[in-house]
Amino acid sequence: MTKNIFRSAEHRSRFIESMQRLGKIYDGKYDPEYASALYILTADLSTWQKTSDYISQHGIDVEEMLQEVDFSGGYGVLISLAGNLFNNQQHLDPLEFLRLDEANFHLALNALKVRRDGLLLDEF
């Protein structure tokens, strides 16, 4: 995987800063559970501002996030995917991906790749 998976330089910065702040980098590799979820949650500044309070080095409370924060239909799918990739907190039917616009569909696919393949610190 390469740094080209990020939507923007700001997305990349939010992701790296949050992973460093949480201390979720081990042996030169980003923790795949946190990385896949934070890849989604940091993609958009507005979403990051709504969700960052639910994230700590002890976990991501996606259930509470979904109950307390109003997300559009597409972003609700992405937040559920983040919870599923993080620690299977949320069930997500793959058909839900069809509700996503093109940009968010690719974001979802990249998040799956991050979870599967991981990201190395030296890639950035």
User: 102: burial class by Cβ within 10 Å (0-12, 13-18, 19+)?
Assistant: exposed
Evaluate if pTM is beyond 0.75: yes
Please report the pLDDT score of residue 1 as a whole number.
55
Please report the pLDDT score of residue 113 as a whole number.
95
pLDDT tens digits, 10-60 = 999 999 999 999 999 999 899 999 999 999 999 999 999 999 999 999 999
Average pLDDT, stretch 60-72? Answer: 93
Mean pLDDT of the chain: 93
**At residue 77, does pLDDT exceed 60?**
yes
Residue 64 · residue 76 · CB < 8 Å: no
Residue 100 has, within 13 A of its CA and on its CB side, a CA count of 20
